[in-house]
Amino acid sequence: MSAQPKNKPHSRPVKRARRITAPQITARKGGDPIVCLTAYDAPTAEILDEHVDLILVGDSLGMVVHGLPSTVGVTLDMMILHGKAVMRGSKTAMVVVDLPFGAYEASKEQAFGAASRVMMETGCQAVKIESGTYAAETIEYLVTRGIPVMSHVGLRPQSMHVLGGFKARGRTAEIADEILENAKAASDAGSFAVVVEGVSEKLANRVTKAVSIPTIGIGASAQCDGQILVTPDMLGQFERVPKFVKKYCDQLGATREAIANYAADVTDRSFPGEANLYHFNKPSS
Ligand code: KIV
């Protein structure tokens, strides 16, 4: 695990009166880095809220919460359930909910139906879609109808079966140019920001220079306009994480130790101890 100084000097936590909006995120292009993380439940969202600008309810929840092999099996109902929890836990960070595989690709009307349902039922501020140039029409349709869209280019986990897995992308000039075009199309169509995942630092920097909206990097470059990680990955909840993840604590080790200690305490009857017991003064109790 990487050594991380405790309480690194920083301007955060931040005090804000109201939720960050999509235009405020867009206005941060080229400015202070935009801090983003994923959350799937209320208690985590509550912890994140004062430290991050944007919380993504990512469809990564399929893998890190539900134990699915990929994000492909995630449903709109799952996204809405977790989106509601994150909205309850957070107060001022912008909350973006992923549209899952199958909920938006068929047509712009299908995308509007899914996105409006997510926004109405969760109260979130925006949706995210994984997008190639083909998605430009959908993005424009949603944005002109009141739904802010965050796009996602580069490694697009929902397309893993076409891309051949979760490998970093853009190794050939042709694919790198295609990713750049996808980002430009997303920006021109009116996305308020674009996630750039699993590409070389050089390509991420090219994309960041080429588009007028903030790039949010994950496995990309420190020069992106912001960064995001899957929170359980950076908290060290899993043994194996992608190369681009920096583990900021060892949650797996701490959890294993706590569970083992609990099991030992129950086994030798040292739990519950005196501090955990009720004693009422009535004679019958
Ligand atoms: O689903 C997710 O968590 C994401 C992030 C990795 C950007 O899309």
Active-site residue 197, yes or no? yes
**Residue ranges for the chain with pLDDT beneath 70:** 1-11, 283-285
Angle formed by the axes of helices 76-89 and 42-49, nearest 10°: 50
CA distance 25 to 98: 17
Nearest to 185 by CA among 230, 239, 129: 129
Instruction: Identify the pLDDT of residue 276.
Output: 97
CATH of domain 22-250: 3.20.20.60
Closest CA to ligand 1's atom 8: 58
- What are φ and ψ of residue 201, in 5° steps? -60, -40
Residue nearest to atom 5 of ligand 1 (CA): 58
Residue that is written with structure tokens 């129950």 in the block: 266
User: For the segment 220-235, what is each residue's pLDDT rounded down to a tens digit?
Assistant: 999 999 999 999 999 9
CB–CB of 56/25 below 8 Å?
no
* pTM of the entire predicted model: 0.94
- How, if at all, do strands 126-130 and 226-229 pair? unpaired
- Maximum CA pair distance of the chain? 82
Give 21-72 pLDDT, tens digit per residue.
999 999 999 999 999 999 999 999 999 999 999 999 999 999 999 999 999 9
> Which pLDDT belongs to residue 2?
47
pLDDT, residue 170, reads: 78
Ligand 1, atom 1: closest residue by C-alpha: 58
| CA–CA separation, 283 and 199 (whole Å) | 70
Active-site hit among 46, 140, 174, 197: 197
